[in-house]
Amino acid sequence: MVAIRIEGLHKRFGEVQALDGLGLAVEPGSVFGFLGPNGAGKTTTIRILAGLARADTGQAWIDGLEVAADRRRIAGRIGYLPQDPAFYPWMTAREFVDHVGRVFGLPAQERLARTDELLHLVGLAEVADRRVGGFSGGMGQRLGIAQALVNRPPVLLLDEPVSGLDPAGRKELLQLIERLRGECTVFMSTHILADVERVCDTVAIIDRGRLLAEAPQQELLGRYAVPAFEVEVENGLAEHLAAWAETIRSHSWVALVSLDRATARVVVNDVEIARRELLASAVAAGLVLDRYELVRPSLEDVFLRLVEGGGLV
């Protein structure tokens, strides 16, 4: 039995079609990356799975239970961390996790043990008696995961869990999510490609409420990733690089061109033609190169190809 199953979800807000026939399946015990640009429908999907919103049409199941028909039982089977979690700032971390345990009806001794266990798990044991109002963003997100795990849910829903964190906070939170693999099913929405590459077993890519691709990460790379070249110049020549990048977009052997300051990443359809013509084109344009390299395809290449192509897969 799959941990999460979605079939034909549609959801509209006025003129905006948030979900457009979305369907997917998530295997138990996996870390599932729900990837898409901002506004793709990720938060709407998670809110429907959490029982906080209703789809216009379509169905969703968690742990074998239909979400729309059995919201009370679903609440006991999930843990949920919204994108912007809210806490009682006057409470300590220990008091807050204990409070959530009370909401779930845990006996006093079990609450005490579970609170200590979770605060150790998320690395907050040493600050357990500090008021939550003084926590950093990373500490707040870790506390959010702790409260989401109080009821030992088989499914954990995380909506953009590392959004807005600094690099150190993001690294700590991703390490925590990795440790949850096999303990529960983690359904993690994000628009940060590097985080998905680091922790997720399986990836679904959505855009405009539609599923573009869903597969184990390595299978996705093998199926859709194509060779890419990176061309790098000095920072002062970034404008010249951008102008050159614009001229090569029309070549039939160029699939996609993306720019990151002084580096152009050129995804190609034919690597042999690219080997002959790409470097010659850059030199003819007067670019002085710091680096020219054939690089390993990445999840970013797949993501951009699917989202910019806009086609269902």
Tokens (6 digits) for 258:
């993306």
CATH of domain 4-221: 3.40.50.300
Q: Which pLDDT does position 225 carry in this prediction?
A: 66
CB 263 within 8 A of CB 231: yes
* Reported confidence tier of residue 295, pLDDT bands at 50, 70, 90: confident
Tokens (6 digits) for 209:
């409420």
The string of pLDDT tens digits covering residues 27-56 is 999 999 999 988 899 999 999 999 999 999
Q: Which pLDDT does position 300 carry in this prediction?
A: 77
Domain ranges of the chain: 4-221, 226-296
Q: Which of 8, 139, 7, 124 has the alpha carbon at shortest distance from 61? A: 7
**What percentage of residues in the chain have a pLDDT greater than 90?**
66
Q: Which CATH class is domain 226-296?
A: alpha beta
- Is pLDDT at 153 greater than 90 in this prediction? yes
CB 89 within 8 A of CB 135: no
